[in-house]
Amino acid sequence: MPQGALLRSPGGLSAAQVFRLQGSVPASKLRARLAQLLTACARDPEDRVVTLVTLSLAALDGHDAYDELAGALGKDAPLPRRNGDDVMRSTQADVLVQVAAGDVEARLWPLRRAVDALRGIATLEEELQGGRIGKGREPFGFVDGVRAPTPEEVRDVVTIPRGKAAGATWLFYQRWQQRLELFASLRDRAQENVMGITRDGGEMPNAPKDSHVTLAREYHRGVAGAFIRRGFPIRSWGEEGLAFLAAAKDPRAFALALDIMLGVAGPPDALLRYAYPVGGGLYVAPPSAEWLSATGASTRL
């Protein structure tokens, strides 16, 4: 079973935090703290908030599943990614926490808890607050999350089925900035040509080949390209964008998607003229606190 937070999203308020481990702190210490955080976050009797706790592959060094996870990733991490001069850079850190809450106060709790849990060993590098996961309208005004996957579909797409990493999930994160003014200067039809769907999520029979959804469907329909999107719109100091988050059992799905966006084997995604990625990285969602503590005696705290 994947971490429970991957299957539920109780409300319209999201948040994400990214932490970086401080220099000489052993990965096993981070994992012990995260196991406590996972246990604490699982106890929300009123069901007002869910918290997804993830960590980098590097932070799993010494864990029983490390070799299998590293083998599945191979040498091709999704970020950094480039095609000629176009580069999507990596800001890979060590912990990513994603929160979905029903009200503002409930959203604050896990954010405070995570900072407390990691005090003295990791530094908060990013904190984003925004809207609903995969529903509603993204900042350009297009309906997002046209069809929400069922819990069974999520389980099937995101859960590593066997081996020492069974139950774990890869989580890809990329923060996007959207050029709202530039996009707004396009006529309605031209905007739809960029996205490849109508504003309300309707089909466009003759959508341009480089439109976002047309290109996305090229890989997304196949098993190898399958991931579940769980991003949310963000706004901070007048800047808007998307915290793109996606979960999969096969980490190669993300590299494939980004290569197609960058136009490695065809036209680049038209969306890249109106939005650009700021950074991101790849994380692993452990299935449980117990799994996180399953390390050889030499690295156990």
Site residues (vs ligand HEM, CB under 6 A):
138, 140, 142, 144-146, 174, 176, 178, 195, 197, 201, 212-213, 216-217, 220, 242, 244, 257-258, 271, 275
User: Cβ 139 to ligand HEM, closest distance in Å?
Assistant: 7
Residue number with CB closer to ligand HEM (32 or 228): 228
Residue number with CB closer to ligand HEM (38 or 257): 257
User: Cβ 288 to ligand HEM, closest distance in Å?
Assistant: 28
Mapping DSSP to helix (H, G, I), strand (E, B) and coil, where does residue 45 land?
coil
Strands 169-178 and 239-248: antiparallel
Transcribe 261-300 into DSSP letters: HHTSSSPPPGGGGTEEEEEEEEEEE-S-HHHHT-B-GGG-
Residue number with CB closer to ligand HEM (133 or 213): 213
Residue number with CB closer to ligand HEM (227 or 291): 227
User: Cβ 253 to ligand HEM, closest distance in Å?
Assistant: 9
Residue number with CB closer to ligand HEM (115 or 272): 272
Query: H or E stretch including 92?
Result: none
Q: Is the CB of residue 157 less than 8 Å from the CB of residue 149?
A: yes
Question: Tokens 């790849």 belong to which residue?
Answer: 282
Transcribe 230-263 into DSSP letters: --EEEEETTEEEEEEEEEESSTHHHHHHHHHHHT
User: Cβ 276 to ligand HEM, closest distance in Å?
Assistant: 8
**Rounded Cα–Cα distance for residues 142 and 195 (Å):** 8
The tokens describing 173, both together, are: 């994160």
User: Cβ 282 to ligand HEM, closest distance in Å?
Assistant: 12
